[in-house]
Every structure is written in C-alpha cells, then in structure tokens.
Chains A and B, each alone.
Chain A
C-alpha cells in the first residue's frame, strides 16, 4: 500500500489502470479532460496495454466502449455534463445490452446557462437509464468506489453499467493524499474480464440487440430491474470484501452522528465532507445534528437509508440539482417516497448549482432551520438555500423591449 498525492481525475485513472482496461474511447470535456489525457499517456508509454480510440464525440465514445465490452473486453470511457447528455441515447444501449462498463462522471451542470462547474444535474438527469450511480465524497472514495464498481457491475447477478460520480473541480482537480493498492491485490479483487450471456464473437456467433416485441420487452426490462434490486446486496457483500482486502470501509449510506440526532440532513458528493465538519461544530455548541451520506443513489438504498432515518421527525434533503418542475429535487423525491409511511417532516433544499460552493454557513443555516422546525418555531424553510436576493433581475433586457 502506497500513498500518492492524486486529484480525483488521477484517482479515477489509477483505478482504471489497476482494473487493466483493454479498450479506451474517450472524448475530452472540462472537467473530465485530464482523464482522457492521462489514459492516452499511459497507453503511449506502454504502462497500460490497451487500444485507445480517439473518438470524435461522447456519443461515439460510449458506442465504442459498449460494443467493445460486448466483444469481450473490459472497456472504459469517462465524461461530464453536456458529454453525458450527448451519451443519453447510448446509456440505454449499454444498460439494455447488460454491458458492465464503469464510467467516471465528473459532475458539471448542463448548459444553458453555460457553466464549467460542479452540480449533480448532469448525472441526475440520467438516473433512470439503468446505470448504477455512486457519488464520491473525496479522492480516496473515487479510487475505492471505482474499483468496487468493477466488481459490482461485472457480477453476474448484476451485469449493469455503473457511473462513479465525482464533483467537478471540488474533487476532479483537488489533490488529496490517497492510498493506492498494489496491482496484485487489485488483480485478486477484480480479476480478468469474463464475458457473460450475450457477446459478439465470430467463433461463437449470435446476433445481439435485434427488435423485441411487446410479448418480451417487459420481461427484458424486468431483468434489468431484477439486477438493480440484486445489486444493493451485492454492493454490501463486496464492500465487506473490500474492507477485508484493503482495510477501508465503504458505505452504501453512511449515518454520521445520526443515532441521537434531533435532525438529519441527507446529502451526497463532496459537500458531505463540509457537512460532517458542520455536524462536529454544531455538536460542540450542543446542537444534536447528523448527516446521512448517500453514496449509492442507483439503486436507491431503501433499506440502508431507512435504517439511518428511522424515528427522525425532521429531515432535510440537499439536492445539488434543480429538479425543475418537480415538487423538489430528485434526492428529496426519493427520500419522501421512502418515508411516506413515517410520521416525519422532510424539507427540500436546493443549492451548490453551477459551481457555487456549498459553504459551512449554508449547511449551518439548514441545520438551524431544521432545528427550529423541530422545536415548532418555524414553518417555512429556505428552499433555494444560496439564492441571491435579486434573482429575477439578472440578464433582464431593458432596452428595445
């Protein structure tokens, strides 16, 4: 076990290299670009034996990775933001053909307005495309969850692709001390890629992905649902194995000081680090607050999150995506459905969009609101927590209108 100073993108690359990916098709997009660069460096230097396909779009990137996977190799790509949006159509081709690609998604808002910076709107927009979704808190988790994702995605009980989501810049470009396991340990953990069930092989021909009638389509979809349902137990099982092999505990949902907490905030991604700091700070002031960190969003961790939120009367959910037109953000909607038979008050918070920092102050403000709601001192909450005072004045055209 060695320590390296890695940023999130380097950790993702390190994991893909350790997994010995055999075909890489990547297209650069901020803030993912250094992943596609570093993978090409590794291939050019002979440190990674792989075919590197320098594609002309993300659409092609995922198309290449998907058919390469079907042809029997471990295939890799990575993307962000508009690139993920362009992949939308292919995401379903990958998951429907049960090709277990592991894809880092460096979270960035989708234009318009144009942004280069972090939010979860890009990945959340793809949440029903039949991919597993892991959200990372820090660089170590980028590496660990990517390694884990290979085992889970390729498990024959799952056979479902996975996105490993890391916050743009907050993780992708921030250097952190990271434990990097030895190659032989990863080889033992992940092993070589073994094709299963459907494949493209001239020596053992079959035709994949032809037209399917309404007499079978529902069942084919159900197989995917069944795999999603299976995957949560598989994740738990492999997280245990991961801890034994590598000594680090991963959680599907991590309850941070939630046991005796009066109020709990549900969150995902890098802001969980800030939230944990705020929890510690407020507890020193005698305020009993806690954090439910959701690492696995797809499949939605029903059992695990319910366990953490059990008995809580006031819960806040922080969505780093706008959830336009919904009653709240996607994480809030799922949490509300989860707790529909519990007697509790679940508040939706939206913030941290387009690169806006999720600050200590804002998280503290959320906790204080939740505590006041619990104590009956407050009824309304600040839905868009970091909204400026003059939102409707921006870009307001006053001339010639």
Chain B
C-alpha cells in the first residue's frame, strides 16, 4: 500500500520533524530496529505523532493508527483482539505514548489492558511534560521542574508509573534510558516476547522543554541515572532486577544546572531537591529489593 519515496535504512523515514537533539527520535529508531516489520503501532496525538505523518505521508513503514490522546491502550486492545480473531498471534501490537497520554489521561485504558492481560507492548516515552502542546506540566513532571503551567516549579513529585504497572502484577515492566541503548534493546526484546502485557517506561530528554543544549541529550539521560533521578530496573514475573544500583550518587546539581527548567531554584530548593532525590532513591531501591525477598520467601514456603 505504501508508496516508498526514498530508501531509508530502517523502518523510520530519514527526515522527521522532531526537534534537534530529540530523545524520542532516537527511541523510535531503536524500537523499530528491534521490533521489525511485523508490528502494528498505535500512536496518540503528541510528539510521537510526528512519526504518524501528515496528510498522505507517514514517517513509518509499518501499519499504524493514530487514535485519540487517552485511548492508545484501548486502540491497541482492539487491534490485538482483531488479529487474534483472524488467527494472527505473531504480530507485535505496540502502543507508543508519551507521559501525558499514559499517566494522566490514558491511565484508565492502560489499566484495563494490564488487568485483562491483553498481549500488548506499551512504551511510555516520558519527556516529563506535555511537550507537543507547549511544555505544560503533567503528572510525570518532576519535583520543582518549571513548565508553562508550573511556572514557579512543580510543587509535587511525579506519579510512579512502574508502581502502577506492578500493582497489576504485569508480566514484564522495565524502565530504560537513552544513554544505554544496549540495555534498552535487550528490554525491548523481552517485552516483545512477553505473553501478555509489557511496559517500558523510558525517560526521554527534551531539549526544547527542558531547555538545554541539544547536543547533551544522552549526557543528560546518563546524569539522570547517576544522580538517582531516574532508576533503571526490570520487573519480570514478580522478580525485580535493579540495573542501576549505585554506590554513590552524583550531586543533583550536575543534572539540573544544565537545564533551564530548574534555573529558578534557590540554593535552599536545590538542597531540598538533593535531599528528596537521595531519600527517594534509597527508599525505592530498598522497596524493590524487598519485593524479591517476599517473592523468595513465598517460593521457599
């Protein structure tokens, strides 16, 4: 059906209208390279819709559909059910949505998919605000970050999507980061092979919204992990693997001082954010490790 106009190497067109340094573009190209042609993608309006295309042109060579902002998971469930009804159990059905479309307005539909255990792969690329509409705050916007609707800094911390997925006892869920693409690709393969719902939550540096030098996207993603602001782990059949357990955390200022969205912070606020990030990191690592202890106790009992 597609009339291919140029020979791009992968399944993503060479020219897409993402901003320079966009973390999402890197993610999309890697996702497509792992998942391959036998994939149907569901995309809501938002930054990822740049790949849906415009008019009669698309940025992707695979079958796809752009649904509404809040029903990406539901649209995926419909495709899955129809493929199953036609005896096709091999095609990967990929829901690909941002943080707003996932943890805010799309949470209900996602919960439905996770609870029913529909075989859908869900990727939430998290650029930590509504970037495509002009950098408005979402429930995934981190503590103190300035957006156009949290101009003096977000007064609350972010919603924890992984905890929500784990609460559904999802077969496979993982966080990822663009600074470690091998880790991301490994997780993509696992998610793709999961017989049931799988979720990958990947932090997506956004030079436009976070206000930093577009050349530093990968560096920022690394610093987010090194400062304990973004934790890499997997939840697999009830077992947790922490991929970024750090002995020492880098100071939070290494991460925030190169971003415009934290520029307004006073020294006291920086200290408060440092304290908050550290405490949250250690508490959360402990919590994840305790999950494994509980799983093991149950297995030996």
Contacts and interface: CB of A to CB of B under 8 A. Distances in A.
A209 B66 contact: yes
Interface string A71-95: 1110100000000000001100100
Contact of A60 (B1, B62, B71, B82): B71
Interface stretch (B73-81, B182-190, B293-301): B73-81
Q: Choose among A25, A66, A68, A75 the residue with the greatest number of B CB atoms under 10 Å from its CB.
A: A68
Contact of A210 (B38, B53, B71, B84): B53
B67 A56 contact: no
A50 interface: yes
Contacts of B83: 71
Contact of B1 (A67, A71, A205): A205
B116 A54 contact: yes
A51 B89 CA distance: 13
Contacts of A385: none
A67 B109 contact: no
A204 B82 contact: no
B79 A67 contact: yes
A70 interface: yes
A200 B79 contact: yes
A-side interface size class: 35 or more
B112 A208 contact: no
Q: Choose among A56, A60, A210, A211 the residue with the greatest number of B CB atoms under 10 Å from its CB.
A: A210
Given A22-B85, A25-B81, A205 B2 contact: yes
| Chain B facing A: main interface SS | mixed
A27 to B, nearest CB: 10
Interface string B26-58: 000000000001111010010001001111001
Contact of B82 (A71, A89, A210): A71
A51 B71 contact: no
Given A51-B84, A68-B79, A90 B68 contact: yes
A39 interface: no
B53 A23 contact: no
A59 B67 CA distance: 12
Nearest to B75: A67
Contact of A50 (B70, B85, B108): B85
Contacts of B40: 71, 200, 202
B275 interface: no
A206 interface: yes
B148 interface: no
A99 to B, nearest CB: 10
A56 B118 CA distance: 13
A64 B81 contact: yes
A207 B63 contact: yes
B292 interface: no
B61 A56 contact: no
Contacts of A57: 108-109, 112
A56 B108 contact: yes
Interface string B118-133: 1000000000000000
Contacts of A202: 37-40, 62-63, 88, 91
A205 B61 contact: yes
B60 A207 contact: yes
B196 to A, nearest CB: 15
A175 interface: no
A208 B81 contact: no
A22 B82 contact: yes
Interface string A202-242: 10111111111101100000000000000000000000000
Interface of B: 1-2, 37-40, 42, 45, 49, 52-55, 58, 60-68, 70-71, 74-79, 81-86, 88, 91, 108-109, 111-112, 115-116, 118
11 contacts: A22-B82, A54-B116, A55-B77, A56-B115, A72-B82, A90-B68, A93-B68, A202-B37, A202-B91, A207-B63, A210-B55
Given A51-B82, A57-B108, 15 more contacts: A53-B81, A55-B112, A59-B108, A60-B74, A63-B71, A63-B109, A64-B78, A70-B82, A71-B79, A73-B82, A200-B79, A202-B37, A205-B37, A210-B52, A211-B66
Interface of A: 22-23, 25, 50-51, 53-57, 59-60, 63-73, 75, 89-90, 93, 200-202, 204-213, 215-216
3 shortest A-B CB distances, which residue pairs? A67-B78, A71-B82, A63-B74
